Amino acid sequence: MKNVSYSLTSAACFRQDAMLVDKMLATRRLSALSGPANAQNPRANYLPIRNSLYVTAWRKEELVGYILARSFQTSSVLGQKIYHAFDTSANEVNDDHATVSHLADTLTINEIVVQQSVEGKGIASKMLDVIMSQNSQRALSDVEFSVLCSNSSSEKMFTRFAERHGHAISFGNVSGSAWGSYIDWKVSVQAVGKVRSLCKENGSGNKLTILSPPFHTLSSLASTDWQCFRDRRDLVDRSRSFQKK
């Protein structure tokens, strides 16, 4: 979209602009997000910590979109992924995020918000691309997020993101909330710096392997949670259909 600029927002930006969190909350109120007031992210979630990562989109001096994300180092115990918090006792919040992100193998996308007036302009996709363009993300192997089952536009956006930057999508837990049912997505990403050479010139992107982890599938069947199983399989089918378009 013309006249929109994108930036990776550091902790220093919050010190320089004391109203930045309030601007993010105002942008959320102007978005198409809906749901119970008591199910919204609290204000404290927007304040920077050592593994915070923010991308912001600005039209002139107005904040029109943002991404709130977190970086983690992970390990596996009995097939379960364990997320390790970075030690903040010896260091203050980093201004450039680089000393954390170059160690992180997993990035969780906690919230993507775009003002309703500029939706459909590709702003959310461009903000995701800003993250993947950072050289500090070279250790990154997984990008994870939860998608509302009824939100087909988000499913399509993340499928396209995976085509541009990844080689596989897998689907994990299905969970209920006050907003509706969410399905956990994981995109296995290419090494930073190789993305452009792997994407086709016509923009169709990489051909993806679409997975449904056996552990979660068996868990759903063992608990006779057939709706979860169907939701996951339906999501695989929809992602495949999106990729063909």
Q: Rounded CA gap, 186 and 174, in Å? A: 13
Range 126-130 contact pairs with CB under 8 angstroms and sequence separation of 24 or more? 126/4, 126/6, 126/57, 127/6, 127/55, 127/56, 127/57, 127/65, 127/66, 127/67, 128/55, 128/67, 128/161, 129/164, 129/165, 130/6, 130/7, 130/8, 130/55
Asked if residue 200 has pLDDT above 50, the reply is no
Whole-number Å distance between alpha carbons of 173 and 212: 10
> Of all residues in the chain, what percent carry a pLDDT higher than 70?
75
Residues in CB range of 193: below 8 A, 6 or more apart: 135, 138
Domain 1-140 is found in CATH 3.40.630.30: yes
Read off the pLDDT band of 98 (50, 70, 90): low
Average pLDDT over residues 90-115: 72
**Mean of pLDDT values over 196-216:** 60
What pLDDT sits at residue 39?
63
Contact residues for 39 (Cβ-Cβ < 8 A; gap 6+): 177, 178, 179
Helix (H) or strand (E) holding 147: strand 142-148
Mean pLDDT, the chain, integer? 79
- Indicate the domain borders of the chain: 1-140, 141-245
Highest mean pLDDT (candidates 59-63, 132-136, 174-178): 59-63
pLDDT: is 202 or 10 the higher one? 10
Structure-model confidence comparison of residues 138 and 191, the more confident one: 138
Phi, psi torsion values for 237, nearest 5 degrees: -65, -40
Q: How confident is the model at residue 127 (pLDDT cuts 50, 70, 90)?
A: very high
